[in-house]
Structure 1
Amino acid sequence: MTFRCIDRVPGDDLQDLLDRGNGRLEAAGDPEYFWPNGATLRVRFLDGLPGLHRQVMAAATEWTDRANLTLVPVEEGPAEIRVTFDEPGNWSALGTMALFTEMFPADGPTLCLGEAPVTTPGRVALLARHEFGHALGLVHEHSSPAAGIRWNKPVVYRELGGAPNFWSPGTVDDNVFARYAADRTQFTEFDPKSVMLYPVPARWTLDGFGTVENTALSATDLEFVAATYPGR
């Protein structure tokens, strides 16, 4: 089982975001790291082929069809979102955390799609939708303040600790079990169709709860981003 990505959140900010309450899942984002409404975000590809760039941009702009933001590809110079395909895994800075140069140097990536060059066009689109959701400030659904998954932790540690993820227990804790604080996030009711929801095998939970891998932006995803960035 391959998890899509790791949230890239600086340590102190991660501790501020994390919470251990109980509840439900829902669409969620962190307002502190939302971009200014109406912002133009430059997207620069640091490597990769032009055809792959076009696939990624086509998927990414599905968000901005509803959000009052503009994604503009640039060939050189400064860019708020800098994409690489040359690092392992798939990850993104959370919203304006991309501007934290101590974590994301100005000449380095803020978003990685390491799986994209070796997978299908459909999965490239899925990965781009998910990671650009993070780039706009959306967090993982299972990490929302109201998340109430009853994890079978020994199973999750064992499976994510092996191939192909090789995650340490701490990485699993931060990216699977931890939840964001309610006073730091905006969220809606549970949306099992959200592209920001990890696929969760039923064997990973104590009560047989499971989710599938969603490939498209759901109606709630689009409603949430439109409410977050109104005016489109």
Structure 2
Amino acid sequence: MSAATNNRFVWINNVQRIISLRNISRIILLLCLSLANLSAQPAPGKPQPSCGMPIFNSARERAFYYKRTGWKPGQTIKVYFVNGTELERGVTEHYAREWERYGNFKFEFHQEKKTVKEHTILIKYEAQKPGVAGWSTVGWGTESTDSHSMSFAVGTRSEGTILHEFGHALGLSHEQMSPGGAIDWIPAEAYKYFREQFKWDTAKVDAEILGKTSDANMNWTEFDHESTMGYYLPGKLFKSGKPLGVSFHLSELDKKGIAQMYPGRQAPADRLPTDLYFADSGRFIDISAQEATVKVFLDDQLVKEVVAPKNGYAGKIDIDPYLRNKRTKLSISIQPSGQKFQGFVTVQETGKYLFSLGCTHEYPCARGNQTVTRSVYLTHFRDRNRGQDSFGSVVTNTPPVPAPTDDYNDLKGNITINDQLNAKLLNAILGRKVGEARTWLAKGANPNAAYQGWTALMLAAYLGENDITKMLIVRGAALDTRIADYWTAYLIALKLNRLDTAELLQKAGATTRGATMNMRSLPSL
């Protein structure tokens, strides 16, 4: 996928060839933090989603993805569920379709169980690790009927989490990874922050953050502090003073970027997002403001005006009388009167927090003393978006391009083993460099090369690298070598839900003995 670079965005340039960042410990982590109520946005003054999570992590922390193909402009992308209630599935569909309004593709949500092995997104709601709300593969779903490609915490209603993970599924990377942000970082503050928060030394910060000037597998543009794809990072790290990861709707540049990535859909004239509520009564808005004149509108009717002093203001509005239509426009206007202004409305129902809308002097939305206006639509869950809000589509239902068949003739026959190439082979596998791995095998690298007990085949299985797995099988790699007196390449693939890889190994003759005894932990890599 190619793209112009006149707008901020970061996405996979070619998901068929995406590689990791030099080694396993630096594969992008596909997570975002949850809120106490898994709500769409945090209440004012509460911790932000994604705050404090690792920017990168090891593959053992779920950082895995398929890379054999990507979605194409004009394609219908099927979405299935392993489990989930009507509420969980409906909320997920509603917010995922916000991407669909701007990119030329069509989500096709299925409620029946997936039974056909084809390339789709497959979602499961399940317990997550502490502080985690979900994860997704990047730029690819899964062909499996039971190995899911996207995961959410049980009960997820978070717009930000759903947008973020579907962004990954469509091929988008984390905003903090963008080389476009290089000029905005304050090096001294970055060194201090990542040393204190993540124990990174100067060299690692340079390699991972400050030195990210290019990436052959990515397209990127101007850095966007409001992107839904960013993890929270404080404003003190940036010359602009604006934090990253505090917006949980699509930014304007998110919208433009996905349109560049999947061209062909006419942008909607009305670009406001629609947030959900669920009750038929007991709905109200809390207002919090400081050093600002704040006006609250419902369907463009002024319902409250507050002149907030330095010591702040808090109030409440019953909005039941205003929610008479299928969709109601909520707006907040904030006119700063001091340097530390803020203005927020928090939507609640029957005592439960739903989401917040507003701005503070610290946020990217702030424009000095200029008035800031933030708007969304409110709609009941029963009137959620099932595809009816996606206009201007020229979807052509282009199927994914199948990967060409390869008989690996260059890897067959008598190839003299050259063990001096083994390290290069292992590094290529760890770097997900398929072409390089093939080159070293063709030149004589040992298909049974190993490091600290991990064979080349085990590493390929661990990463779900099917092409490399096929190459090693063709070169005659030993299928049943064990590490820690138990783990074979097949069992490693099975443990990590690399079912396509496990199937390749099984068909090649790998033993499946022990497949039902998977309670053991994998050895460290």
Settle same-fold status: TM greater than 0.5: yes
Q: 1:110 aligns with which of 133, 149, 156?
A: 149
- What secondary structure sits across from 1:107 in the alignment? coil
Match of 1:71 in 2: 107
Q: Write the deviation string for residues 180-218 of structure 1: whole angstroms up to 9, x where unpaired.
A: 953211222122211112210246x38766334211001
Distance 1:50 1:158, change over 3 A: farther
Q: 2:122 aligns with which of 77, 82, 97?
A: 82
Match of 1:62 in 2: 98
Match of 2:218 in 1: 185
Could you tell me the TM-score, scaled by structure 2's length?
0.32
Could you tell me the TM-score, scaled by structure 1's length?
0.68
Distance 1:190 1:155, change over 3 A: closer
Deviation at 1:31, TM superposition (A): 2.5
- What secondary structure sits across from 1:152 in the alignment? helix
- What secondary structure sits across from 2:107 in the alignment? strand
Q: Write the deviation string for residues 57-99 of structure 1: whole angstroms up to 9, x where unpaired.
A: 1110110111111111112225611112204132111012x34
Q: In 2, Cα distance between the equivalents of 1:57 and 1:40?
A: 14
- What secondary structure sits across from 2:79 in the alignment? strand
Do 1:87 and 1:112's aligned partners in 2 also have CA atoms closer than 8 Å? Answer: no
- Are 1:93 and 2:137 counterparts? yes
Q: Which runs of 5+ in 1 are unaligned?
A: 1-24, 162-167
Q: In 1, Cα distance between the equivalents of 2:84 and 2:195?
A: 33
Q: In 1, Cα distance between the equivalents of 2:174 and 2:245?
A: 14
Deviation at 1:158, TM superposition (A): 4.9
Q: Write the deviation string for residues 34-70 of structure 1: whole angstroms up to 9, x where unpaired.
A: 4111111111121221111111111101101111111
Q: 2:160 aligns with which of 120, 123, 126?
A: 126
Q: How high is the sequence identity, in percent, across the aligned residues?
A: 25
Do 1:143 and 1:180's aligned partners in 2 also have CA atoms closer than 8 Å? Answer: no
Do 2:136 and 2:149's aligned partners in 1 also have CA atoms closer than 8 Å? Answer: yes
Q: In 2, Cα distance between the equivalents of 1:108 and 1:157?
A: 37
Q: In 2, Cα distance between the equivalents of 1:220 and 1:112?
A: 26
Residue identity matched to 2:169? A
Match of 1:13 in 2: none
Do 1:142 and 1:179's aligned partners in 2 also have CA atoms closer than 8 Å? Answer: no
Q: In 2, Cα distance between the equivalents of 1:157 and 1:46?
A: 40
Q: Write the deviation string for residues 133-157 of structure 1: whole angstroms up to 9, x where unpaired.
A: 1110011111123332346356446
Match of 1:165 in 2: none
- What secondary structure sits across from 1:29 in the alignment? strand
Residue identity matched to 2:221? T
Do 1:26 and 1:147's aligned partners in 2 also have CA atoms closer than 8 Å? Answer: no
Match of 1:50 in 2: 86
Residue identity matched to 1:50? E
Larger C-alpha radius of gyration, 1 or 2?
A: 2
Q: Which has the higher contact order (CA 8 A, sep 6+)?
A: 1
Q: 1:145 aligns with which of 170, 173, 179?
A: 179
- What secondary structure sits across from 1:129 in the alignment? helix
Q: In 1, Cα distance between the equivalents of 2:161 and 2:213?
A: 22
Q: In 1, Cα distance between the equivalents of 2:167 and 2:174?
A: 9
Q: In 1, Cα distance between the equivalents of 2:226 and 2:238?
A: 22
Larger fraction in strand? 2
- Are 1:211 and 2:244 counterparts? yes
Residue identity matched to 1:38? G
- Paired residues, what number? 187
Q: In 2, Cα distance between the equivalents of 1:215 and 1:35?
A: 24
- Are 1:37 and 2:96 counterparts? no
Q: Which runs of 5+ in 2 are unaligned?
A: 1-6, 16-69, 266-525
Q: In 1, Cα distance between the equivalents of 2:127 and 2:196?
A: 24
Deviation at 1:106, TM superposition (A): 4.5
Match of 2:233 in 1: 200
Q: In 1, Cα distance between the equivalents of 2:174 and 2:229?
A: 5
Q: In 2, Cα distance between the equivalents of 1:131 and 1:76?
A: 21
Distance 1:140 1:53, change over 3 A: same
Q: In 2, Cα distance between the equivalents of 1:35 and 1:126?
A: 22
Kindly report the root-mean-square deviation, in angstroms, between the aligned alpha carbons of the 2 structures: 3.0
Q: Write the deviation string for residues 106-154 of structure 1: whole angstroms up to 9, x where unpaired.
A: 521211122x62x6x4xx1111011101110011111123332346356
